[in-house]
């Protein structure tokens, strides 16, 4: 009997080691990893330069405390601000914490402007985490059920719908910010219209609201640019990062710029572990290797290759709805629920995920090679074709 709280329905497999996008289980069976720990293992497994940098850092310092200066954290903040054109960073340990920081920042921004009950617009099918504030911001009843009372101060609108925002604005006082994923991850790899983010930017500018982008899943090179919003050529006021930033070492960041910068003062927010020398080195090294090894270009080209491969091998099949996503953030949308594909793929040595009931989600490492991509097509296409040929 397990002594773990029953929070995950786990697959019956335990891995012992990995190399690049391959993993081995305790029986010596090999797997192709097309999930990368849900967009976390940016550099794949056991990347030699990453391993060396972390080992060296562990031999010097793992943790001190944020009551002291941490040069590695300063460097990381400067690097991320350079890449994103943001101004300042708060470093924490996960995506939900980064979003908590963003929500707290929006409330304090509102209070400073005399808004007594600051309200944040959030989206249907959004996912922002599982702390009380972030599950309240999440647009999925399953995540919220049983945890009421929810945190107040959110209003929800449909995703990718600018008119819905204008409408809610006309009858909701006290709005201070919009919190939105540039591409919805858990919601089913939903990519909005190319003008959506530009429209949100305009609305926020007109009304003095903060545009807060949750790039926890889509950020850090995954879509072929450092951050997914850069495809739209806009700048956010607040951006949150986590998953892929530390290549598996827990780290999250909330960045702010413009109107949002300078909101927090000492005592307003904090984190014991946030941005310690080990986590900051993991993130800095991840960013360095993405640059040196041109992994964003790889994400773009491998993503295009996979997109085309799936399209040509599956696109015409009855029961297929759509292949969508950007770079190495791909969703294969089927017309009916397909959760059982996860177990079938695992049995054949392939790690994938299904989200939003009917979307096969692929989030491989940014180091995914041409051979890995070919292997993924050859393993996954027959599985999906078989599944679709069976009666529901």
Residues of this chain that interact with ligand PLP (CB under 6 A) are 94-96, 99, 127-129, 181, 185-186, 214, 216-217, 242-243
Query: Quick one: tokens of 249?
Result: 């070492």
Strand runs (DSSP E) across the chain, as ranges? 15-19, 22-25, 30-33, 88-92, 119-123, 154-157, 175-180, 210-214, 238-241, 252-256, 320-326, 329-334, 350-351, 353-355, 359-362
- Please provide residue 212's backbone torsions phi and psi, each rounded to the nearest 5 degrees: -115, 115
- CA–CA separation, 229 and 42 (whole Å): 19
Indicate the residue among 35 and 216 with the shorter CB distance to ligand PLP.
216
Indicate the residue among 201 and 361 with the shorter CB distance to ligand PLP.
361
Residue 56 vs residues 17, 53, 64, 91: alpha-carbon distances, Å: 21, 5, 16, 22
Indicate the residue among 185 and 221 with the shorter CB distance to ligand PLP.
185
Indicate the residue among 283 and 320 with the shorter CB distance to ligand PLP.
283
Indicate the residue among 109 and 127 with the shorter CB distance to ligand PLP.
127
Listing DSSP states for 177-221 in one string gives EEEE-SSBSTTTSBPPPTTHHHHHHHHHHHHT-EEEEE-TTTTTT
Compute the least distance from the CB of residue 230 to ligand PLP, in Å. Answer: 17
Compute the least distance from the CB of residue 375 to ligand PLP, in Å. Answer: 26
Longest dimension (CA), the chain: 62
Indicate the residue among 135 and 376 with the shorter CB distance to ligand PLP.
135
Indicate the residue among 183 and 320 with the shorter CB distance to ligand PLP.
183
Indicate the residue among 36 and 320 with the shorter CB distance to ligand PLP.
36
Compute the least distance from the CB of residue 217 to ligand PLP, in Å. Answer: 3
Instruction: Report, in this order, helix, strand and coil percent for the chain, each rounded to 5.
Output: 40, 20, 40
Compute the least distance from the CB of residue 238 to ligand PLP, in Å. Answer: 13
Compute the least distance from the CB of residue 184 to ligand PLP, in Å. Answer: 8
Query: Quick one: tokens of 356?
Result: 């939003």
| Contacts (Cβ under 8 Å, ≥6 apart) of 355 | 185, 186, 187, 188, 189, 331, 361
Compute the least distance from the CB of residue 201 to ligand PLP, in Å. Answer: 19
Compute the least distance from the CB of residue 98 to ligand PLP, in Å. Answer: 8
Indicate the residue among 175 and 242 with the shorter CB distance to ligand PLP.
242
Compute the least distance from the CB of residue 104 to ligand PLP, in Å. Answer: 15
Indicate the residue among 10 and 60 with the shorter CB distance to ligand PLP.
10
Compute the least distance from the CB of residue 216 to ligand PLP, in Å. Answer: 4
- CA–CA separation, 93 and 280 (whole Å): 10
Residue 7: other Cβ atoms inside 10 A: 7
Compute the least distance from the CB of residue 242 to ligand PLP, in Å. Answer: 5
Listing DSSP states for 128-145 in one string gives --SSHHHHHHS--HHHHT
Residue nearest to ligand PLP (CB): 95
């Amino acid at each position: 009997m397990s002594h773990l709280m029953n929070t995950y329905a786990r697959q019956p497999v335990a891995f012992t080691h990995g190399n690049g996008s391959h993993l081995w289980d305790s029986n010596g069976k090999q797997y192709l990893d097309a999930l990368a720990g849900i967009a976390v293992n940016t550099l794949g497994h056991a990347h030699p330069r990453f391993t060396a940098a972390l080992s060296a850092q562990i031999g010097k310092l793992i943790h001190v405390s944020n009551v002291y200066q941490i040069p590695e954290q300063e460097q990381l903040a400067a690097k991320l601000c350079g890449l994103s054109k943001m101004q300042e960073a708060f470093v924490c340990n996960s995506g939900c914490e980064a979003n908590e920081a963003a929500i707290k920042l929006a409330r304090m921004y509102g209070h400073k402007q005399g808004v007594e009950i600051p309200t944040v617009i959030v989206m249907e099918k959004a996912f922002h985490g599982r702390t009380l504030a972030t599950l309240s911001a999440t647009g999925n009843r399953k995540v919220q059920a049983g945890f009421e009372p929810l945190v107040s101060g959110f209003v929800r609108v449909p995703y990718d719908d600018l008119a819905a925002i204008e409408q809610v604005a006309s009858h909701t006082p006290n709005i201070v910010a919009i919190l939105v994923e540039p591409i919805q991850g858990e919601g089913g790899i939903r990519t909005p219209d190319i003008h959506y983010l530009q429209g949100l930017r305009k609305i926020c500018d007109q009304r003095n609201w903060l545009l807060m982008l949750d790039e926890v899943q889509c950020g850090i090179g995954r879509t072929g640019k450092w951050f997914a919003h850069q495809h739209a050529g806009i700048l956010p006021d607040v951006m949150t990062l986590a998953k892929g930033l530390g290549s598996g070492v827990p780290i999250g960041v909330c960045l702010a710029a413009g109107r949002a910068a300078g909101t927090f003062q000492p005592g307003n927010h904090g984190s014991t572990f946030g941005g310690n020398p080990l986590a900051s080195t993991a993130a800095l090294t991840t960013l360095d290797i993405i640059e040196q090894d041109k992994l964003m270009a790889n994400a773009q080209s491998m993503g295009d290759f996979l997109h085309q491969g799936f399209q040509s091998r599956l696109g015409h099949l009855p029961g297929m709805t759509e292949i969508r996503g950007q770079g190495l953030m791909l969703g294969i949308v089927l017309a009916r629920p397909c959760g059982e594909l996860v177990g079938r793929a695992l049995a054949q040595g392939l790690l994938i995920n299904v989200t939003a009931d009917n979307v096969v989600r692929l989030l491989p490492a940014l180091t995914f090679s041409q051979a890995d991509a070919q292997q993924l097509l050859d393993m996954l296409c027959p599985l999906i074709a078989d599944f679709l040929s069976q009666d529901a």
